[in-house]
Structure 1
Amino acid sequence: MRRIPRRTAAALAAAVAAPLLLAGCGSSAAPELTVSGAFMPQPVSDMAAGFLTVENTGGAGDRLTSVTSGISDEVSIHRTEGGRMTEVASFDIPAEGSLDLERGGNHIMFMALKERPEEGDTVSVELHFEKSDPITVDVPVKAATHDPEH
């Protein structure tokens, strides 16, 4: 039986493995984000909340890091746990998963509104992410009691 020199065996193994590794890199290793279900209940004061879903069909997670809007200079993202609202720096958006910002849960908070939108209006917001490009969303203003589940 003939022996293959160690260097030759290593080179052969690398040559066989390289296309397999590169094929794995070709799979969607980046986030692929879309936004749906956006709405803002008509504000009854100088504050408002916004709700939406960010769907990630990509192979890598991302993070919602901030939201901006011309309607307010003070827009933040909030986590709700045990009935308490707390401002957070970001929300994770898992690979092949979603981030749900919904009534009674995590949401966007608009403070010190420059103007108070009414039902039927739309508010433009820009979502900023750790990896992905920003996404601009036209958020429809719904009745103050709007519940998308019913």
Structure 2
Amino acid sequence: MNRGTALAGAAALVTGLALTGCSPAGGPELEVTGAFMPQPVSDMAAGFLVVKNIGGSTDRLTSVTSSLSDSVTIHETRNQAMRMVTSFEIPAGGELDLERGGNHIMFMDLKERPKQGETVALKLHFEKADPITVDVPVKETTYNPKKQ
């Protein structure tokens, strides 16, 4: 097997795995799945994903950064009203579900509008665990995995 084939195989293996963030033993162990961004139709966009905590202690999502926007915030939705929050809890043995119609990531003043089929890189920052970088696929504007 030549080096190029080995590297391609390794890259394929890595892209098929969930993205994880490590922390000290007994601490939170986080993995990110189901990430997507509907194709934006204005200078704003939303991002959705699930952060699972298979570790032994609670953590918090404290911020999100991306080169797509200098203004990326996290929002909760309650009683059909959206408001910015400073963090979301990720309980030990539980998960944080950022989904359409609920809690989510907001990208304001986009530097460009990504198109369906592209990916957007973002970095999730936590209170305890190391940051996790996620390549988020851009889906059609109406995409909703809960209704598939």
- Which TM-score applies when normalising by structure 1? 0.81
Query: Quick one: percent identity of the two aligned structures?
Result: 68
Listed as ranges, the matches of 1:1-150 within 5 Å are 29-149=26-146, 150=148
For residues 29 and 133 of structure 1, what CA distance do their matches in structure 2 show? 14
For residues 128 and 102 of structure 1, what CA distance do their matches in structure 2 show? 18
Give unmatched runs, 5+ long, in structure 1: 1-27
Counterpart of 1:91 in structure 2: which amino acid?
A: F
Larger Rg: 1
For residues 65 and 137 of structure 1, what CA distance do their matches in structure 2 show? 15
For residues 101 and 147 of structure 1, what CA distance do their matches in structure 2 show? 12
* Paired positions, count: 123
- Which TM-score applies when normalising by structure 2? 0.82
Give unmatched runs, 5+ long, in structure 2: 1-24
Runs of at least 4 residues of structure 1 off by over 2 A?
A: none
